[in-house]
Amino acid sequence: MQQRNASERTGWEVADQMDGEVIDDTRPRFTRIKYTTVAEQVRDQLMDSIRAGHFEPGARMPAERQLCDEFGVARTTVREAIQQLISLGVVERRNSRLHVVEYLGVVSAPADGLKREVRELFETRRVIEIAMTHLATRHASDCQRTKIGELADEFEPGMELGQFRDLDHRFHAAIASACNNPLLAELYGRVLRALFESPAFASLLYTQANRRQVNEIISGSAEGHRQIAAAVLAGDGERAALAAGDHLAEVERRMLSQLI
């Protein structure tokens, strides 16, 4: 191919050359812009406002007409956004009035896909569980330490998924109980329920194409649980926290990098 002369180059190419710009192929490329509907933008603003505490649980939300005026959108757009919030369990209708639900739990809008929802839940769980495991090594009774060790020994490669999930829940609940901080244990329980009951999490686990990867996660988790239990039994808080962090980071990595 013959080299083009300056007269054949586009205006952008000439301008770039005049500005002295050099294309750097080594830098990370920009992320493609994701399209979102107007209704999704309205939903996300309402969700952020509820999360920020501007509307407390049980509080009445502004009327549709007021929301239309504030957002500058049509009523059909507001109604679509509200319906999405109702589906997410964030708001509800009472006598034709819109109210924030009494118990919000842990909610998230799936605007950016399943993996982002799972990632956020894992990040929250990891922050809480590392500290909670460290506390458990200090406050657990002899009976609680024995129970944690016994549960860890029940993990084995090749477990059926439902059996593994039940055992995993009981193991981490035992550590939460042993931390001797009811408030922290309650918060952790809410996060754990949000993760285990998340449609996004379930879809990743039970998709047929992910069966092999799920089995690998189950096999790898057996050793992770044993390391956590051994550190708790030894009363080594630093080692227990490190083992908990490594275990959750590995599960998250496998979930998000290998699963569809």
CATH code for the domain in which residue 47 is found? 1.10.10.10
Residue ranges of the chain with pLDDT lower than 50? 1-2, 6-8, 12, 14-16, 18, 109-112
What per-residue confidence (pLDDT) applies to 177? 93
Q: Are residues 127 and 96 in the same domain?
A: no
CB burial of residue 258 (10 Å; 0-12, 13-18, 19+):
middle
What per-residue confidence (pLDDT) applies to 251? 84
**Structural domain contains residue 240:** yes
Q: Are residues 148 and 243 in the same domain?
A: yes
CA angle 238, 186, 233 (to 5 degrees): 30
What per-residue confidence (pLDDT) applies to 243? 95
What per-residue confidence (pLDDT) applies to 215? 84
Provide the residue range defining the domain that includes 158.
113-258
What per-residue confidence (pLDDT) applies to 75? 92
What per-residue confidence (pLDDT) applies to 21? 52
Q: Are residues 186 and 80 in the same domain?
A: no
**Structural domain contains residue 25:** no
Of 79, 100, 121, at which residue does a domain stop? 100
What per-residue confidence (pLDDT) applies to 250? 87
* CATH assignment of the domain containing 169: 1.20.120.530
Q: Are residues 234 and 167 in the same domain?
A: yes
Q: Are residues 125 and 228 in the same domain?
A: yes
What phi and psi, each to the nearest 5 degrees, are found at residue 91? -130, 165
Flag whether the pTM goes above 0.75: no
What per-residue confidence (pLDDT) applies to 135? 95
Residue 85 burial (CB count, 10 A)? 22
Q: Which of 9, 100, 111, 112 is closest to 51 using CA atoms?
A: 100
What per-residue confidence (pLDDT) applies to 259? 54
What per-residue confidence (pLDDT) applies to 209? 63
Q: Are residues 163 and 253 in the same domain?
A: yes
Q: Are residues 71 and 173 in the same domain?
A: no
Q: How far apart are CA 49 and CA 84, in angstroms?
A: 15
Q: How far apart are CA 88 and CA 259, in angstroms?
A: 24
Q: Are residues 117 and 243 in the same domain?
A: yes
